[in-house]
Amino acid sequence: MKAMKHALALAIVMAAGSAAGFAQSAPYERILNADKTPQDWLTYGGDYQSHRFSGLKEVNKTNVASLRPVWIYQRSQITGEFIEATPLVVDGLMYIVEPPSTVTALDARTGMKIWSWSPKMPKDVKYIGLHANNRGVAILDGTVYIGTLDCHLAALDAKTGALRWIVEVEKNSDNHAISANPLAINGEVIIGTGGGDRDARGLLDAYDAKTGKRLWRIYTVPNKDEPGADTWGGAVGNGGDVWNGGSYDPDLNLVYYGTGNPSPAFGGGTRPGDNLYTCSLLAVDATTGKLKWHFQFTPHDIHDWDSTQIPVLFDATVGGKRRKLVGLANRNGFYYVLDRATGEFVAGAPYISQTWAKGLDEKGRPIKLPSYDPAPTGTLTNPSTSGANNWTAPSYDPENNLFYVSARELAAVFTPTGANFQSGDSAYGAIRALDATTGKMKWQYRMIAPAWVSTLSTAGGLVFSGDDEGDVFALDADTGKLLWSFPMSGVDPRDSPITYSVDGKQYVVISSINIYAAFALR
């Protein structure tokens, strides 16, 4: 007993000492220049542009085969929902989310818990159309922000976990819930809600980072007297929820968010028209909340193809001119490149073997094949309801202008009331490297089944991801050749790998179902 008490006291002292050594602060200017501190991972996508690219290269093509696990953190409560969150790392302190909405701070060197905070939520939380999990937190200055499943936004002291403020974003009783990560920019925190599959009206909010006061709100579907209402054929617009993360261009002062499907999701007979602004990318003024432009990927969606995939911001030369672009691998099976200042369609191409459209016209609108509309007897269509890509994030390597995405080759049989997966369908998954400017595939790494894993690329010439069988791996960023793999679990992992460095040592952290595991060279 004395030995146990001594060990416990020692652990507490170590934790307190470890916490005291961290700065726990990420000012706006520091996040703006995230590429200058690759030892940290400061946002969901690593930077405001959502590149998920790290300049670290201690781990590289020549030595990645020597990666070994160095610590594992087991989540404190097993709720049945898998971990989907991307950790953040600031000055050696890691912030993770344990489903559904618990924030935990770890020593990034050892995986030792420093503090943990859980919201007080009712037992009957509604999260229709979502899972009881979370994509991660945001940090700004000395505060960590999280959206809770019961539709609140909370601000925590980054050093201690103490609650600074919490506000209700929208009523959970009206089917609004939050699984998305917040986006913290210059003095404000931006968050959207889910619930559109049960007629919740999509919205995007901004809150004062210090006080929690709401600064602006934009609805993603119009009322009858608002622009775009005529695209609903007289119906009341619903859906279009913002249930995933977004990106930010500080020069244009625009935030970019994708929107979900219209409601009802299938059939569409009660909502004739394009149904703006569902299945779209919205460019919103970060200060005022005004819509600058929109681009609709799937007008009048009848396949449940949300467009909430992560938008990736990059600059490239098109037609001899340097342009500000945004790339998005859409759930409908097409990869799109848009001018991020104007929303103009630049390029597009299928990145899976989609069957529902002949292609895209000169403005990027799909040229639909009516034979693939859902029929009462069922119509086999690729992609399925889960899409060519879903919530998992891609990565972008600015050194070779490649966009890495986990592609899902999976069809479904659609009817006007729903969809079913076909028994024996020849489904598979693949990590695909696309030319970011054109969408042309450079290489692929084929997997047995479609996976639910994000990608991470590094200056070490590597792409990290995982498969549906529970293996995590590293690929050669130039060729797709498998260089390293490690069995994490045998059940449908939902990983979002990151990399960081502490005391000059590079780590790669990957989650799998109920654990966070850190790997390093030995």
- DSSP string of 439-507? --EEEEEEESS------EEETTTEEEEE-TTSEEEEEETTT--EEEEEE--SS------EEEEETTEEE
**174 SS3 class:** helix
Mean pLDDT confidence for 381-393: 95
Mean local confidence (pLDDT), 95-100:
95
Q: What is the mean pLDDT of residues 228-251?
A: 95
**How much is the mean pLDDT over the chain?**
93
Indicate if the pLDDT at residue 375 is higher than 90: yes
Q: From the candidates 150, 249, 274, 304, give the one annotated as an active-site residue.
A: 304
| 141 catalytic per annotation | no
Q: Looking at residue 512, what is its pLDDT?
A: 84
Predicted pLDDT at 253: 98
- C-alpha radius of gyration, the chain, whole number: 22
Q: How high is the pLDDT of residue 423?
A: 61
pLDDT at position 141 over 90: yes
Fold of 120-308: Lipocalin (2.40.128)
Mean pLDDT of 283-292: 98
The residue that leads in pLDDT, 190 or 82, is: 190
For residue 89, which amino acid is it? V
The pLDDT score that the predictor gives to residue 522 is 82
Which pair of structure tokens corresponds to residue 340?
């991020």
- Residue 475 CA to residue 458 CA, distance in Å, equals 11
Contact 289, 338 (CB under 8 A): no
Which of 16-30, 253-267, 409-423 tops mean pLDDT? 253-267
What pLDDT digit, counting tens, does each position of 438-469 carry?
A: 999 999 999 999 999 999 999 999 999 999 99
pLDDT of the residue at 20: 43
Q: What percent of the chain has pLDDT over 90?
A: 85
Share of the chain above pLDDT 70, in %: 94
Check residue 372 and report its DSSP letter: G
pLDDT at res. 490: 62
Report pLDDT for 491.
63
- CA-based nearest residue to 136, from 200, 52, 211, 16: 52
Mean pLDDT for 488-497 is 78
Please give the full DSSP string across 203-265, using - where no structure is assigned: EEEEEETTT--EEEEEESS--TTSTTGGGGTTSPP-B----S--EEETTTTEEEEE---BSS-
- Three-state DSSP class for 114? strand
In this prediction, residue 73 carries a pLDDT of 96
**Residues 399-439: tens digit of each pLDDT:** 999 999 999 999 999 999 999 887 666 899 999 999 999 99
Residue 123, pLDDT score: 87
Tokens of 496: 């979002």
198: confidence class by pLDDT, cuts 50, 70, 90: confident
Query: Can you give the pLDDT at residue 22?
Result: 53
Is the preceding peptide bond at 493 cis, omega within 30 degrees of 0? no
Q: What is the pLDDT of residues 351-374, one digit of tens each?
A: 999 999 999 999 999 999 999 999
What pLDDT is stored for residue 130 in this prediction? 84
* pLDDT bracket for residue 23 (50, 70, 90): low
Backbone angles phi, psi at 190, to 5 degrees: -115, 135
Average the pLDDT over each of 163-177, 292-306, 421-435, 453-467 and give the range with the smallest value: 421-435
Nearest C-alpha neighbor of 467 from the set 433, 432, 494, 427: 494
Burial of 60 (C-beta count, 10 Å sphere; 0-12/13-18/19+): middle
The pLDDT of residue 6 is above 50: no
